[in-house]
Amino acid sequence: MTARRSPAGPFRASPAGGILALVALAVALAVAACGATTVSPSASPSPSDRQGGLAPSATPWPGGVVEAVINLGKADAQIQAAGADLGAAAAYQDLEAMWGAADGLATLIGRLEGEVPRIAVYPETAPAAAAYDAALPDMLAGATKIRDSITAKDAAGITAGSQQLARGLDKYRDARRLIGPLVDQALLMQRLLLK
C-alpha cells in the first residue's frame, strides 16, 4: 500500500469541482492500460523449472543487479495499488485520500529511480532500465504535481498532473513487460547464490 502523510490545511472536494471525475477517468484508464496482471515474484523455481526454460543465463548477474531487479518487480504491485487508490479517491472526490495516494506514489517512484541505474549497467537488464527511464520521470512529476496542486487548491494543476501521470503509466507498460521475465531469472540466481 502507499505511504500516506496528511496534507497541510483543511480539504474539501469543492476546490477541484467536477475536474475530479476527469482525473479519476484518466488515472483509471492509465492503470487499466498497464494490464490486469502484475509482476509478482513467484516462489523460487524448482530444479524442474530450470530444465523447462527458467534456467538463469550462462553468466550469473552481479549481486546488485539481482537485488535491483527483484526490488523493481516487487514494486509493481505497489504501483498498481497506488494508481487504484488515486483513481478511487478521485472518483469519490476525496482530496485528502487523493493527496495521500499521490504522495505515496511519488515517494515510491523516487525510491525506484535509485534502483534503475543498478540494472542499466548490465547488458541483459539494460533494456528494462531504458523502459523505466522513459516512464518514471513522468510518473514522478505527475504524482508530485497532483499532490502539490491539491495543497495549492489548483484544479488545473491536478488535471495537468493527472495527464502527466497517465503518460508515465502508459510508458510503464513496456517496463512491466521487460521486468517480469527478469524477476524470475533474478529469483533463481538469488536462490543459487544463497546455496
Considering the chain, what is the average pLDDT of its residues?
79
**pLDDT-based confidence at residue 83 (cuts at 50, 70, 90):** confident
pLDDT at position 59: 72
Residues contacting 183, CB < 8 A, separation 6+ = 39, 41, 69, 70, 72, 73
Q: What separation in angstroms does the CA of 63 have from each of 11, 66, 70, 140, 192?
A: 46, 5, 11, 27, 11
| Secondary structure letter of residue 52 according to DSSP | I
Decide: 104 and 130 in contact? Cβ < 8 Å: no
Q: 151: pLDDT confidence band, cut at 50, 70 and 90? A: very high
User: What is the model's pTM?
Assistant: 0.76
Per-residue pLDDT for 172 more than 70?
yes
Q: Exposed e or buried b for every residue in 117-136, given b needs 16+ CB within 10 A? A: ebbbebeebebbbbbbeebb
pLDDT value at residue 179: 95
pLDDT of residue 36: 44
pLDDT digits 0-9 by tens, 25-51:
566 555 555 544 455 554 444 444 444
Task: Kindly tell me if the per-residue pLDDT of 145 is higher than 90.
Answer: yes
The whole-number pLDDT of residue 31 equals 56
At 124, list the grid cell. 541483459
CB atoms under 10 Å from CB of 12, counted, come to 10
For the chain, state the CA radius of gyration: 18
Q: What is the mean pLDDT of residues 10-24?
A: 52
Identify the band that residue 194 occupies on the pLDDT scale cut at 50, 70 and 90: low
Query: Is 169:34 a contact under the CB 8 Å cutoff?
Result: yes
Domains and CATH numbers, the chain: 68-195 (1.20.140)
State the alpha helices, DSSP H only, in the chain.
Answer: 19-33, 47-49, 63-91, 95-113, 116-120, 126-152, 155-194
Contacts of 16 (CB under 8 A, 6+ apart): 23, 93, 95, 150, 153, 155, 158
Cα(first)–Cα(last) distance of the chain, in Å?
Answer: 32
- The CA distance from 139 to 24, in Å, is 16
